[in-house]
Amino acid sequence: MSIYIDEQTRVVVQGITGMEGGFHTGEMLAYGTNVVAGVTPGKGGTTAHDRPVYDSVKEARERSGANASIIFVPAAMAADAIMEAADAGIPLVACITEGIPVQDMTKVLPYVRARGVTLIGPNCPGVISPGKSKLGIMPNRIHRPGRVGVVSRSGTLTYEVVDQLTREGLGQSTCVGIGGDPVIGQSFTDVMKRFNEDDETDLIIMIGEIGGNAEQEAARYVRDHVAKPVISFIAGRTAPPGRRMGHAGAIVSGRSDTTEEKIAFLKQCGIVCVDDLAAIGHTAKRVSRS
């Protein structure tokens, strides 16, 4: 099974008439994603990519039966867009937007959780189940169906890892970019639980980075619950303490945040740690054969 989306997922695009939303809607459609509607306030009654555009998510859900949303709206309006989707009864929301204020997300997260909504992101590439559906901005051509699950904070590192896997003949079950902000919807542990329960995932790859303890929390779950092999790469080995590197959540604030401390703990929990990102592909191939 797919852990978030499949061929039956009916997608509404919030911000479909914008430059980013329009481009990536075309890419999702080309991949076979079942995009059923778009939302842009004030442009209801028009069409985009031959899909109807509505003024509200509520109307889009009622008219099209959408059960997932992807958000391409500016940062200042993104929090409201997420909450609008939750109010409309959309159970799965992926927010691609970057630069959303942390204060906004501290309000959004409990709001969506109280309504039973699964939020992926923000500041993320979304989620793809190769050969089935794509709810995000991942390059179409690099993915292949298979049995390796990938979860990462970084979009670009996800693409690099997926490309390596595909070149090694290892397809992917689902690839999830959880986002690099301090406050996000799905954590490494949340995704790890889904992969652990997924009959179509045999091997899990976790791409982490400096900052926070999300990787350690996931490692504890792996230690206590996961029998499947897990491979990890932690980015940011050369980052100086106190310096943010790329993502808002990637900042070393103490000894336990450093790459070395994370890697040591992950290894204690039985995770195979790779020092060189370029080695992920052949390491996965070796582990998958063992």
Contact (CB, 8 A) for 149 and 181: no
Among 24, 49, 143, 247, which one carries the catalytic annotation? Answer: 247
In the chain, where does DSSP find H-type helix? 19-31, 57-64, 75-87, 102-114, 155-167, 188-197, 214-225, 259-268, 280-289
Residue 143: active-site member: no
Query: Distance between CA 146 and CA 211 in Å, rounded?
Result: 31
Q: What is the C-alpha R_g of the chain? A: 19
**29 half-sphere exposure, CB direction, 13 A CA radius:** 17
Burial state string for 86-123 with b = 16 or more CB within 10 A and e = fewer than 16: bebebebbbbbbbebeeebbeebeebbeeeebbbbbbb
Q: Which H/E stretch holds residue 118?
A: strand 118-120
Catalytic residues: 247
